[in-house]
Structure 1
Amino acid sequence: MTSTAPGSALPQRHLWIDASAGVAGDMFLGALVDAGAPLAEVQGAVDAVLPDTVRLTAQEVRRAGLRATRVVVEVTQPDQPSRTWADIRELLSEADLPAAVAARALEAFRVLAEAESRTHGIAPSDVHFHEVGAWDSIADVVGTCAAVTLLGVETVTASPVALGSGRAATAHGELPVPVPAVLELARGWSVTAGGEGELATPTGMALVRSLATACEPLPPMEVGAVGVGAGGRDTPGRANVVRAVIGAPAERPAGVAADVGAVDGTQDLLVLEANVDDLDPRVWPEVLASLMSAGAADAWLTPILMKKGRPAHTLSVLCRPVDRRRMCDLVLSATSTFGVREHPVSRLALQRDWRSVTVHGHPVRVKVSLAADGTVRHATPEFEDAAAVAREIGLPVRQVLDDAGAEARSAGIAVGSRLP
């Protein structure tokens, strides 16, 4: 079921999830199995957490005429209990799982527990799961995290998510769609209604938010594998599927992260800060680069004067709330600070895109920002590309930048026009 070029090895470095028709745990898992994750090894990871409890089977199905793989989770031991976040954390911590699988699964359930705690107004430790603490959801989360690891995925991004509309029956009674936990998990992410019914489940949304570092269209990449995972319903006229695209990502310009959160809308983000006065200044460029590579929306330094007249820097990191713990851990490990403070912020972000123009026979990328109506607000040649061309042909960087701007305008990439 793997869509791979004949005779080639899968690069399997970046995973992009297409959740434009919705997302559920079994759909996510089905897409990864369809992309090549070995079901027997995924089953082994699930068995490490829930021994002799569930059996995974894969079926080829059709959804609105589109071929897809559906992974069915079958119970072999009835009367499975509902569980608390503490119960699930203990199960995952004690299971014989690879460290990467356990860490990803723990993060997915932590994100879900925090969303449920906000929904019900209780502490995360007091959250008592019903649907999402059942055996099938644990299997979906552990199986998906195992599949991502088995496929060699290092980074993940995802599309805007279709949430659905109408009403749904839950353990708390009939609730409007999207259900409250899904809406909490959607904070800072681009979403659509997408159709009738519950298109995104809490488990599926938690997997997207815990694994993906950014919401973006299909990024530039050399595609190695494509997987299509099916939901249980076959809705006429709308393929009920999640698609997984895995491949080697095209190089992003230095210091540029994928767009984070909603497009051309207000995003709820965090600013993490730490004052540092005893770090070798030669380390700072690598610290900033590592934060950006890890999915920070931005990272910067501000010179300050600390007590006793000591010169220092404030390190600031702009990130999504769901990435808070990971970014804090990176700051604490990459610098000499003893602590990180945080405060919430809102950001209005324009949609961003990249185009390439040819300057003196060499490609130069142009960073473009777009207004809500799709017209170009800004078009700026990438400095590092221009500098590389200038070194190659022996011209001043200023001239190459000017020439790249002129080429962009000639190609229709101009302020006020629609992006070609």
Structure 2
Amino acid sequence: MKTLYLDPFSGVAGDMLVGALLDLGLDFEQWQVQLQRLNITGYHLSIEKTKVSAINGTKFHVQLVDHKQKIDTGLTALEQTSTVDAHANQSVKHHHHHHGRNLEMITSIIETSGLSTYVKESAIAVFQEIAQAEAQVHGLAMNEIHFHEVGAVDSIVDIVGTLIAIEMLEVDQIVCGEIYDGTGLIQVAHGMMPVPVPAVMILRQGADLPMRQRADVKTELVTPTGLALLKFLVNEFGPQPQDMILLGVGYGFGSRETGALNALRISLFDSKMSKKIQQRQSDAVLELHTNLDDETGEAIGAITNHLMNLGVYDVFCTPIFMKKNRPAYELTVILPARLQNSVIELLFRKTSTVGVRWQNMQRAMMERSFEQIETTLGLVQVKNFTYHGIEKFSFEFDDINQIAEKHHLTLTKVKQIVMQQIKQDKYREL
């Protein structure tokens, strides 16, 4: 299970999200291929690998080819109506002087695209959230709102691009830390406005968003687009995940000069303990048990996922018969002692159990390390195991499976080919 952790210590905007996701290592060319399914023109995309405040990261740029060019949606008549420029701050990276586009037009662009169902539905939901906030700010109906900023090509790219990147990374859940905005006043199309800007304040209404203001930054850090994306995407707010494997970190730089590091940090975690380097040969663990006689298979599967995501070492079920010969399952959890309270609370909250039992145990395990082997079929990650001179190794199943699908081979055949090449290269004495 992959968890994306967002750290908006300097606010959040659409371009910062895209930049940070690409900085994680996402292939820019493949990402652009997916984005082209929008079927809109008039822009050029680029990324800039740079350093800000001695930190390496990525700036994401949308360059408009022709500021007067319209998106061809067949709804250009709607652009003749009056417009509302929600947040046309002239200091941002793009000056949004486009014809206005309302929610109906933006929805049409997305619905008629070749994007996946997830990206389409999510993008429309985000734009609806923004349109509703802007409508409340200006006292108009949602479809009476015509956006210069939110409806511009670059903002459509920011929102849709963020969703495409998350889909490509196969993220299962998103967790976010505290959201920081600036303070003071900024100049927008309607005059001086306090920070947070009006649409951001409306987006916060009724939402349990942990937002703080930075007294050292006298400008806007949180944009309506960025906050709307967070509201839609984030599953929970809190600290970084514990007992998970950190796969990568990305920094997406903002366009404002704030006097401090203006970046969004994104970290990608994986709950697979099999990817964790193990340098010990023994340790102490707890073995915890509880009996479940009125849970469905789906419910037991769900609690197993919750426990593994929490960071336990293993979870398994044993069929048993309880009093009156009722069929049931004994759920066994192997865990480090520090997770005892968290596991017990999770079992009481997520299952029907009213009691658990545990015992302290010692275990011996082989040391574990990883390396990648280049084969004629592609890269394969190998897990190496050692214990007092005893050596074993195994292949990462995901790598073998991907190679099998790519070359239309069986898993057994791929393993045979890889093993043969390892023998030839004298990688191991077999």
TM-score by length of 1: 0.58
CA–CA distance in structure 2, aligned partners of residues 171 and 86 of structure 1: 23
Give yes or no for contact 1:117–1:123 (8 Å, CA) kept in 2. yes
Give yes or no for contact 2:183–2:196 (8 Å, CA) kept in 1. yes
CA-atom RMSD, angstroms? 3.5
Question: What runs of 5+ residues in structure 1 fail to find an aligned partner?
Answer: 1-10, 252-280, 294-357, 369-378, 394-420
Q: Counterpart of 2:249 in 1: which secondary structure?
A: strand
Equivalent residue, structure 1, for 2:227: 205
Equivalent residue, structure 2, for 1:418: none
1:56 aligns with 2:45: yes
1:365 Cα deviation (Å)?
2.9
Q: Per the alignment, do residues 364 and 23 of structure 1 end up closer, same or farther by CA in structure 2, a change over 3 Å counting?
A: closer
Give yes or no for contact 1:163–1:178 (8 Å, CA) kept in 2. yes
1:367 Cα deviation (Å)?
4.8
Q: Per the alignment, do residues 106 and 362 of structure 1 end up closer, same or farther by CA in structure 2, a change over 3 Å counting?
A: same
1:14 aligns with 2:3: yes
Paired positions, count: 276
Which string of whole-angstrom CA distances, capped at 9 and with x for unpartnered residues, describes residues 90-134 of structure 1?
110111112222222122212212222222233333332221111
Equivalent residue, structure 2, for 1:158: 176
Question: What runs of 5+ residues in structure 2 fail to find an aligned partner?
Answer: 69-97, 274-293, 307-333, 363-430
CA–CA distance in structure 2, aligned partners of residues 216 and 201 of structure 1: 21
Equivalent residue, structure 1, for 2:13: 24
Q: Per the alignment, do residues 44 and 284 of structure 1 end up closer, same or farther by CA in structure 2, a change over 3 Å counting?
A: same
Equivalent residue, structure 1, for 2:262: 240
Equivalent residue, structure 2, for 1:111: 129
Of the three residues 341, 346, 356, the one matched with 1:366 is 341
CA radius of gyration, larger in: 2
Which string of whole-angstrom CA distances, capped at 9 and with x for unpartnered residues, describes residues 32-65 of structure 1?
0000222223323433325222111110222222
1:364 Cα deviation (Å)?
4.1
1:185 aligns with 2:234: no
Of the three residues 23, 33, 37, the one matched with 1:44 is 33
Give yes or no for contact 1:64–1:235 (8 Å, CA) kept in 2. no
Which string of whole-angstrom CA distances, capped at 9 and with x for unpartnered residues, describes residues 257-283 of structure 1?
xxxxxxxxxxxxxxxxxxxxxxxx977
Of the three residues 172, 175, 186, the one matched with 2:193 is 175
Q: Per the alignment, do residues 392 and 382 of structure 1 end up closer, same or farther by CA in structure 2, a change over 3 Å counting?
A: farther
CA–CA distance in structure 1, aligned partners of residues 213 and 147 of structure 2: 25
Which string of whole-angstrom CA distances, capped at 9 and with x for unpartnered residues, describes residues 12-36 of structure 1?
x211111121111111100000002
CA–CA distance in structure 1, aligned partners of residues 357 and 117 of structure 2: 40
1:135 Cα deviation (Å)?
1.1
Give yes or no for contact 1:49–1:91 (8 Å, CA) kept in 2. yes
TM-score by length of 2: 0.57
CA–CA distance in structure 1, aligned partners of residues 31 and 181 of structure 2: 27
Q: Counterpart of 2:236 in 1: which secondary structure?
A: coil
CA–CA distance in structure 1, aligned partners of residues 21 and 140 of structure 2: 34
CA–CA distance in structure 2, aligned partners of residues 240 and 97 of structure 1: 31
1:225 aligns with 2:243: no
Q: Per the alignment, do residues 235 and 133 of structure 1 end up closer, same or farther by CA in structure 2, a change over 3 Å counting?
A: same
1:88 aligns with 2:106: yes
Q: Per the alignment, do residues 219 and 124 of structure 1 end up closer, same or farther by CA in structure 2, a change over 3 Å counting?
A: farther
Equivalent residue, structure 2, for 1:404: none
Residue type of the partner of 1:66? Answer: I
Bigger Cα displacement from structure 2, 40-49 vs 217-226: 40-49
